[in-house]
Amino acid sequence: MNKSKKILLGGISCWLAFGVFLFSYLAHASWITALDQWGYHLLQPTTALRTSIYAVITRLGDPTTVFTITVLIGLLCWWRHRLATGGWYLGIQVIGYLLVIAVKYSVVRPRPTHQLVAARGYSFPSGHTFATTLFTLTIITLLWPHLHRRWQRVLLSVVGAVWILAVMSSRVYLRDHYSTDVLAGLLLAAGWWLLTSLIKPRVIK
């Protein structure tokens, strides 16, 4: 199996898994509730210090913050005569988030109650998780060619994974999302990244 087929299979698998979460929620599957409760209790107890830390993390993972930084990256790419590259990453972030909004307003899942940091809109899937995942993958992709040692690439991958997990955890801890919301956001973003990467070579020559 060549690389393109593996990427295609990976993207489809992520979206199929996302579909399982989506339709299981719509069908009121008991395992969705169980997973949500497990994720919430995993992040307890609630303390003032942890709330402050998670509040900072969730602000950094906010789609508006991520989009602003992505625009700056696009401008940097333009300055370095890589306009197509900057436009590509900005485009998949914007179009991808429109996909998130479309799903949110189709599913209309209410957010958890007693939020520690107020959040508006619907809950499924997590926009913070989606935007953060795409942004992290963008940073990794841009830095990867400049890292020539194996340990550097491993470290970058670990830091990226930890950051995505931190944002996901912050959304559940702050009671702005259920566990299944952030997992669905991760799967939707991963699938979107993999599938769009297949057409990237045709856009960026």
Q: Where are the domains of the chain?
A: 3-203
pTM of the model: 0.92
Q: CB-based contacts of 11: which residues, under 8 Å, 6+ apart? A: 190, 191, 192, 193, 194, 195, 198
Considering the chain, what is the average pLDDT of its residues?
A: 92
Query: CB burial class (10 A; 0-12, 13-18, 19+) of residue 147?
Result: middle
Per-residue pLDDT of 64-110, as tens digits, reads: 999 999 888 888 888 877 777 778 888 888 899 999 999 999 999 99
With bands split at pLDDT 50, 70 and 90, how would you rate the model's confidence at 187?
very high
Instruction: Give the orientation angle of helix 3-26 with respect to helix 30-42, to 10 degrees.
Output: 100
Per-residue pLDDT of 9-48, as tens digits, reads: 999 999 999 999 999 999 999 999 999 999 999 999 999 9
Pairwise pLDDT comparison (36 vs 204), residue with the higher score:
36
